[in-house]
Structure 1
Amino acid sequence: MSNIAILLLAAGASRRMGQAKQLMAWQDTSLVEHQIKTLLPTGASIHIVLGAYAEKIRPLISDFSVTIYENPHWEKGMGTSLAFGVQHILKNTTNTAGILIALVDQPLLKTSHFKTLIDTFTPNQRQIICSTSDKGWSGPPIIFDRCYFEELMKQEGDHGAKNVTKKHKKAITFLTLGSVLEDVDTPQAFAKAITRQF
């Protein structure tokens, strides 16, 4: 397996949901614990960025084999958590060939989806491996080659890595993962996802 680090972003305030999305119940556990359990079998190192509700989330995940970072500027948007996470991964790992960015609110994704992304990635080829849905939506989970790390560390605001993908469109390889990419930003979306989990 390529030397991939997984960056799980779980710092948001979940304003559209109206409650801490990370802590919502999913398959007899919380959403954040479920996502970690899905990622662990990939064998990649897992790094999670917390922000809002960190004091409630940290005790739930402290026993997992993950590295936890707390972004003090999480309120400034996902871009700051992305940049913060990449910076700390580079401080705490060596020879990282690529970073897979995952979100806490895509619970329908299976371990096999993440393994497919990782297996598609070839180090030192300037690749961006991007997921796409049946409806044409594209985004995380997404892998960036190390040549993009400097740009990722400059991201800010609510756009995540969109500025980087727009700039390097020709480097992107799209993998269709179907409708499982749907995130759960609202109570309605969460209820819909629950009916599809089995």
Structure 2
Amino acid sequence: MMAQENTGIIILAAGNSSRLGQPKQLLDYQGRTLLRHTVEQALAVSSRVIVVTGSENSIIDQETGSAATIRNENWQEGMASSIHKGLNEMLLKYSETENILITVCDQPHIDASVFSELIEKRQLSGKKIIASCYSGTLGTPVLFSQSYFSDLLKLSGHEGAKKLLIKYKDEVGQVLFEKGSVDIDTPEDYQQLINNQ
């Protein structure tokens, strides 16, 4: 349990979902919004959960529950700015945080067990980066130990954590998240999700 308490979870929810035409954070799936679902699953694993919002901020804030929320005024600059905002806020609130998990809110099949597996793999493998594996690739949610916090803070523009998974590929462990490939970017993606529920 100590490892979970030393792990903070940052939920990136600042984008404006331009391809979707409406905030993906607020899409309804199985009785709750995608953001609310992600927050609930994160809080089931760690009390240190920070949601980074940006676009449509006032509406989205209502869906963050008891998680801490920080607004990224520069969300239009790209994902790196939200990672910076979330990580800096995490270290300000919880200076003793040893690992952070970065996740997004448009993977409807995210579950507390995925977060727990990433943390457990970090403990058991000795690897300092643990990524989710799906559809032949590595992606979010992804865990970084504190030795990579400075690398995360050096990301810029639209660079996400994926850049570090490539740069440090020999230091990356992985857990299988089969349904991680399902994310919502377009109206068609959402319709397919609803049709398959």
What is the TM-score with the length of structure 2 in the denominator? 0.91
Is 2:76 aligned against 1:75?
yes
Tell me, yes or no, if the aligned pair for 2:127 and 2:173 is still in contact at 8 Å.
no
Displacement of 1:49 after TM fit?
A: 0.2
Tell me, yes or no, if the aligned pair for 2:11 and 2:49 is still in contact at 8 Å.
yes
Please name the residue that 2:130 is paired with: 129
Displacement of 1:195 after TM fit?
A: 3.4
Give the Cα separation in 1 of the matches to 2:18 and 2:147.
34
Give the Cα separation in 2 of the matches to 1:55 and 1:65.
15
Query: Deviations along 1:118-164, whole A, 9 cap, x unmatched?
Result: 111139x561000111x202110000010000111121222211222
- Runs of 4 or more, structure 1, over 6 Å off, are none
Give the Cα separation in 2 of the matches to 1:119 and 1:195.
34
Is 2:47 aligned against 1:49?
no
What is the TM-score with the length of structure 1 in the denominator? 0.91
Please name the residue that 2:163 is paired with: 163
Tell me, yes or no, if the aligned pair for 1:8 and 1:48 is still in contact at 8 Å.
yes
Displacement of 1:59 after TM fit?
A: 2.6
Among 3, 15, 38, the alignment partner of 1:12 is 15
SS at match of 1:120: helix
Please name the residue that 1:95 is paired with: 96
Give the Cα separation in 1 of the matches to 2:195 and 2:141.
22
Give the aligned CA root-mean-square deviation in angstroms.
1.6
Displacement of 1:57 after TM fit?
A: 1.0
Displacement of 1:34 after TM fit?
A: 1.4
Among 38, 42, 53, the alignment partner of 2:41 is 38
Please name the residue that 1:176 is paired with: 176
Displacement of 1:95 after TM fit?
A: 1.4
Displacement of 1:86 after TM fit?
A: 0.7
| Structure 2, gaps ≥5 residues long | none
Give the Cα separation in 1 of the matches to 2:179 and 2:62.
32
| Structure 1, gaps ≥5 residues long | none
Tell me, yes or no, if the aligned pair for 1:49 and 1:70 is still in contact at 8 Å.
yes
Please name the residue that 1:144 is paired with: 144
Tell me, yes or no, if the aligned pair for 1:131 and 1:140 is still in contact at 8 Å.
yes
Please name the residue that 2:26 is paired with: 23
SS at match of 1:60: coil
Tell me, yes or no, if the aligned pair for 1:24 and 1:30 is still in contact at 8 Å.
yes
Give the Cα separation in 2 of the matches to 1:126 and 1:108.
25
